[in-house]
Amino acid sequence: MELRHLRYFVAVAEEENITRAAARLYVSQPPLSRQIGDLEREIGVKLFDRGTKGIRLTEAGRIFLVEARKILQHADEAVKLVKTVALGKRGQIHVGYTATPTAEILPRTMRVFQRTHPHIRVDLREMSTQGLLDGLKDRTLDAAFIVSISPQDFAGLTVEELGRYPVRIAMHRKHRFVRLREVPMRDVVKESLITYSRKEYPEAYAGLLKIVLPYNRSPKIIEEYYSSMSLIAAVQAGRGVALDFQSLSLIAGDRVVLRPLSPAPPSLPIAIAYSTHGISEATRAFVAAAKTVKAKQSSKPSLTA
């Protein structure tokens, strides 16, 4: 049995006339009559009583009409749903991020995207940089926000810079640096430093070295952590100081104190990475939303790594 058999049956049942049903379906009358006969033989039930006064549904035919309409409606709805997903109007995308660098830009992107695509669910996944890279490559992630210090790590993916954010020193509330408006880099590099795991966050470790090595060839890195919350807890406990994005304050609140550095190191770039091969319309729309947010800050060309 095919959907066309059901459509033919419904038309004949509603018209109660083969000729009118054939005209409605834009088919000739003999093939339509054969299709109805084939349907009755296939299911083994008489659906119509045929007489000189016309064609009428049997009791079984009336029940079958109700069910046939349900099936056809469900099929039509399925087609509409698939089309909306293909057009990027419905569905789900998986987006990876690391907490601290995206604390400001990710919520803004989400607000823009949800205004334009309210029926697309965004599955957010907080991960390490290595996890983001693996997710993009094995296609468990559709897009990811990254710190693009080492874009060569994302070879084969498109990386688009969204903005640059300043680096600050984070310290516990009773640290001697708290009284300063700006903390000299020559003093920072003498401190015990806390950073993210060099294995899981290679870009954070590379960024730290890029900042401190001009002042101290042997920085005292005492602890490495796998999450921003662990790093915040260590700084709050007075284990050491950390160099991180200004946006750390959005996560840490008043648990730690952040101060500018002097001289100020270069701001670090935040980017969105994704694969253009087989990209869905929903992912394209999300990337476009992120770039709209970026456009308020800067206008930089995209880069294919």
Peptide bond into 263 cis (omega under 30): yes
Instruction: Output the furthest CA–CA distance in the chain (Å, rounded).
Output: 104
| DSSP helix/strand/coil, 174 | coil
* pLDDT tens digit sequence for 26-81: 888 888 888 888 888 888 889 898 876 778 888 898 889 999 988 888 888 777 66
Q: Mark which of 51, 86, 121 sits at the end of a domain.
A: 86
Q: Which amino acid is at 97?
A: Y
Q: Which amino acid is at 280?
A: S
Distance CA 192, CA 174 (A): 15
pLDDT of residue 88: 57
* 107 lies in the same domain as 157: yes
Band the pLDDT of 300: cuts 50, 70, 90: very low
* 214 lies in the same domain as 243: yes
| Chain centroid to CA 34 | 51
**Is the pTM value of this prediction over 0.85?**
no
* 22 lies in the same domain as 77: yes
* 107 lies in the same domain as 156: yes
* 183 lies in the same domain as 256: yes
CATH code at position 19: 1.10.10.10
* pLDDT tens digit sequence for 167-215: 999 999 999 999 999 999 999 999 999 999 988 888 888 888 889 999 9
Backbone region of residue 49 per phi and psi (left: phi > 0; alpha: psi in -120 to 50; beta: other values): beta
* 249 lies in the same domain as 185: yes
Q: Mark which of 86, 111, 137 sits at the end of a domain.
A: 86
* 160 lies in the same domain as 171: no
Band the pLDDT of 301: cuts 50, 70, 90: very low
Bridge partners, residue 131, by sequence:
none
Q: Answer yes or no: are the C-beta atoms of 145 and 99 closer than 8 Å.
A: no
CATH code at position 247: 3.40.190.10
Long-range contacts of 211-218 (CB under 8 A, 24+ apart): 211/167, 211/185, 211/243, 211/265, 212/185, 212/188, 212/243, 215/185, 215/186, 215/188, 215/189, 216/189, 216/190
* 143 lies in the same domain as 289: yes
Number of folded domains that form the chain: 3
* 118 lies in the same domain as 35: no
Distance CA 97, CA 105 (A): 11
Distance CA 184, CA 16 (A): 90
Distance CA 298, CA 227 (A): 29
* 148 lies in the same domain as 219: no
160 pLDDT higher than 50: yes
Q: Mark which of 52, 86, 120 sits at the end of a domain.
A: 86
* 155 lies in the same domain as 290: yes
Distance CA 252, CA 158 (A): 31
* 118 lies in the same domain as 159: yes
Distance CA 1, CA 5 (A): 7
| Chain centroid to CA 285 | 10
Which tokens in the block code for residue 189?
Answer: 């590099």
Lowest model confidence (mean pLDDT) among 109-118, 165-174, 212-221, 290-299: 290-299
* pLDDT tens digit sequence for 223-261: 999 999 999 999 999 999 999 999 999 999 999 999 999
pLDDT of residue 78: 75
Lowest model confidence (mean pLDDT) among 172-176, 232-236, 288-292, 293-297: 293-297
Of 230, 246, 104, nearest to 170 (Cα)? Answer: 246
Domain with 155 in it: 91-164+269-304
Taking CA atoms, 251 is separated from 38, 164, 165, 209, in Å, by 68, 18, 15, 24
| C-alpha angle 302-303-305 in degrees, rounded to nearest 5 | 155
